Amino acid sequence: MEPSALIPAADAIPAAPWFFRLLLDATFAAHLLFMNAMLGLCLVGLARSGRRTPALGQQAGMVPGLTALTVNIGVAPLLFVQVLYGQFLYVSNVLMGVYWFCITLAVMAAYGMAYRQKYALHASRATGSLLWALMCLLLLGVSLAQTHNAVLLVRPDLWQGYFEKPDGTLLAWNDPTLIPRWLHFVTASAAMGGLALAMIGRSRERKHDPRGAELTAEGLNWFGWATLAQIVWGVWWLMALPRPLLSAFMGGDAAATGLLLTGLAGALAAIGLAFKGRLMPAAGAAVATVAVMTAMRGVLRQLYLAQYFDPQTLPVNPEPSTVVMFLSCVGLSLAVVIWAARHPKVDQGRA
């Protein structure tokens, strides 16, 4: 069967495609930063779980908040990708529906464990490595399921597997990019976890903690080596792409090649700054690299789907009032979040 015959018709959208693509990349980059820091702190926490230090408690205390931010901010890019690629996303969700449903359960379980870990460590009660390991396993499972979903979204030719497995358990193990794609994002999380650990160390340095500098150096080492490993997995991912897509990143497409070179330069700069102990410049380079890599991911998605679909061809049914209402709600929400961040002790004082 021709794969294009399996793709549903696209719906009209209320504004130009570039508008939603901009919002998709911006919100997904923010989601990635929080998600990588959350998973990374869990991975680093597991590696450091044998140490009973105040820094470990501070590290555990950050995970629940980061998990909540990851989930809530992740709603926005999910909505925007539905606007632009809904006919592909809905199908991929249904094809692996059992695992897609399990993502919610796994995140909820990990979230509960994160609070258990936080309060146990703050009360100086030993929890050992088991809880860290369970949290990591659950979140790694979620990341693997999300990777399968991302691959199924851009591979309509794999959808024919539904006729052999119509029970919602179709996965993309046959895709050669699946494993390097997943490893690339997992090591990115380890890198961001190291960066978060370095931030904790810097904050402790400012409080004249004698171990603050050591913690900062440890976190930067985590960040540097994990980012280096991320480049290795990225090269594997690149080489595993179908030849036409690989050629696009090797000079065949100006945008794809430019983003690849810029992202690689940013990653190398971040590694060099980390090994030199320059925390804030390394963090800035990391954030900029995530933004570039997010844009490159969008280009890769378009290249995959070029034979089936171009978002620029979506029918547009202008609804200015809907867009204005949406942007107003976003502005109001941001104002509330900023106010709450600047007044963290208001409720505590009243209690």
SS3 258: helix
Residue 54's nearest CA partner among 214, 273, 175, 236 is 214
| Pairwise CA distance, residues 67 & 159, whole Å | 32
Looking at residue 126, what is its pLDDT? 55
Q: For residue 350, is pLDDT > 50? A: no
- Which domains does the chain show, CATH number per domain? 16-309 (1.20.1630.10)
Looking at residue 214, what is its pLDDT? 87
Residue 87's nearest CA partner among 166, 29, 145, 4 is 4
Beta partners for residue 295, in sequence order = none
Please, are residues 296 and 304 in contact by the beta-carbon 8 Å criterion?
Answer: no
Which tens digits make up the pLDDT trace of 113-143? 988 888 877 666 655 678 889 999 999 999 9
Which tens digits make up the pLDDT trace of 152-171? 999 999 999 999 889 999 99
Please count the other Cβ atoms lying within 10 Å of the Cβ belonging to residue 93.
17
Please, are residues 195 and 46 in contact by the beta-carbon 8 Å criterion?
Answer: no
Looking at residue 319, what is its pLDDT? 79
Report H helices in 155-211.
178-206
Q: For residue 188, is pLDDT > 80? A: yes
Q: For residue 233, is pLDDT > 50? A: yes
Q: Is the pTM of this model over 0.85?
A: yes
Looking at residue 345, what is its pLDDT? 57
| Cβ-proximal residues to 229 (8 Å cutoff; 6+ apart), any chain | 187, 190
| Cβ-proximal residues to 329 (8 Å cutoff; 6+ apart), any chain | none
Q: For residue 211, is pLDDT > 90? A: no
Helix (H), strand (E) at residue 43: helix 17-47
Looking at residue 349, what is its pLDDT? 42
* pLDDT (average), residues 69-81: 91
Looking at residue 333, what is its pLDDT? 81
Q: For residue 85, is pLDDT > 90? A: yes
pLDDT band at 53 (very low <50, low <70, confident <90, very high): low
Tokens of residue 214, six digits: 């050591």
* pLDDT (average), residues 270-290: 95
Q: For residue 191, is pLDDT > 90? A: yes
What is the pLDDT of the chain when averaged over all its residues?
89
Looking at residue 286, what is its pLDDT? 96
| Pairwise CA distance, residues 193 & 85, whole Å | 31
* pLDDT (average), residues 229-257: 95
Q: What are phi and psi of 13, to 5 degrees?
A: -120, 155
* pLDDT (average), residues 185-197: 94
